Amino acid sequence: MRDWGTGGAGDPARRYRGVSGAVGRLSRRAAGIGAAALAAQYVPSIAVLGQWSGLRSVGGGICRWRGPKVSQIALTFDDGPSPEATPAVLDRLDELGWPATFFCLGSLVEREPDLVAEILRRGHQVETHGYRHDHHLLRTPRWILRDLRAALGVMERCGLRPTLYRPTFGQVTGTTLAAARLLGLQTVLWSAWGREWTTTDHRRVAELVGSKLDDGAIVLLHDNDAFGPPGMWRVGLRSLDHIAPEVDRRGLVPVTMGELVSGVPSIAAGS
């Protein structure tokens, strides 16, 4: 009878070590795959840092912070439409003779379709800001894709076919970029912002924007305060009084995002 305790191939201890090693290798491989998946999902969130770099876009236009290096800028407004704030912003833009791009929330577009039509009637561009104003870093990939599809559905019912997408809070995950690409959208962030939610001083907002005004700049302000301090949009609106002279002094021309990036405005569905 064979002695199984001699350390031969049939030694139970040796067999255990072999199985244990295989399990360890599989565990390490699974951990590596899991880490790669997490990196693919969350590492792109650092894309918001592009506003402090000299990058204009990456990945063949997958994500953009600036337009081409031309003497134009794009003034953009997030979080609307708001029945209180948006008309006031539109009136001020009329006075300045400036076109702008409004990244609108689908949930608010559903409530204010006539206001979206008014934005377009006045010569501005409307793009999507998603359906709900939620943090992407706290949401699943399925939620992100569903949210974006819902936003596009609302826009289509308003006769619009968006080509640009700005995620809420500027948060970008791997799914954010992939979902936008899948649905034919380019993700757009910004290179200059007023951070109106941090101050009640409109001059400070103008200073922050002015410090980043250069060729091809994409400027971020807001036409709603539903997701920030009350009156936030008024601070941003008043800042335009000080931003406008600086834009003129630098010889910059405000245009829509479509004009800045490709020389054409947004496209209405069915046109």
- Does 133 qualify as catalytic in the annotation? no
Q: Active-site residue among 78, 79, 223, 225?
A: 78
**Other beta carbons less than 10 A from residue 50's beta carbon:** 21
CA-wise closest residue to 220 among 50, 77, 93, 57 = 77
User: In angstroms, rounded to a whole number, what is the distance separating the alpha carbons of residues 100 and 87?
Assistant: 13
CA-wise closest residue to 256 among 120, 63, 53, 60 = 120
What are the domain boundaries of the chain? Answer: 12-43, 50-262
What is the CA angle 32-33-36, rounded to 5?
A: 85
* Tens-place pLDDT, residues 137-191: 888 889 999 999 999 999 999 999 999 999 988 888 888 888 999 999 999 999 9
Share above pLDDT 90 across residues of the chain, in percent, rounded to a whole number: 64
User: In angstroms, rounded to a whole number, what is the distance separating the alpha carbons of residues 117 and 100?
Assistant: 14
Q: What is the pLDDT of residue 5?
A: 43
**Other beta carbons less than 10 A from residue 192's beta carbon:** 24
**Other beta carbons less than 10 A from residue 59's beta carbon:** 11
Residue 256 CA neighbour count, 13 Å, CB half: 22
Q: Does residue 14 carry a pLDDT above 80?
A: no
Q: What is the pLDDT of residue 129?
A: 96
Q: What is the pLDDT of residue 28?
A: 46
Would you state the structure tokens that stand for residue 219, as one six-digit string? 């400027």
What is the CA angle 11-13-16, rounded to 5?
A: 110
User: In angstroms, rounded to a whole number, what is the distance separating the alpha carbons of residues 61 and 107?
Assistant: 27
Burial 165-182 (b: 16+ CB within 10 A, else e): bbbbebbbbbbbbbbbbe
Q: Active-site residue among 79, 222, 223, 225?
A: 222
Give me the residues paired with residue 217 across strands.
66
Q: Does residue 4 carry a pLDDT above 60?
A: no
- Does 91 qualify as catalytic in the annotation? no
Helix (H), strand (E) counts: the chain: 9, 10
User: In angstroms, rounded to a whole number, what is the distance separating the alpha carbons of residues 236 and 206?
Assistant: 8
Q: Does residue 2 carry a pLDDT above 60?
A: no
Contact 254, 247 (CB under 8 A): yes
- What letter represents residue 102's amino acid? F
Tell me the pLDDT band of 270, cut-offs 50, 70 and 90: very low
For 50-262, CATH number? Answer: 3.20.20.370
* Tens-place pLDDT, residues 19-66: 455 434 434 443 343 333 334 454 454 455 555 566 677 776 688 889
Taking the chain, what is the end-to-end CA distance rounded to the nearest angstrom? 88
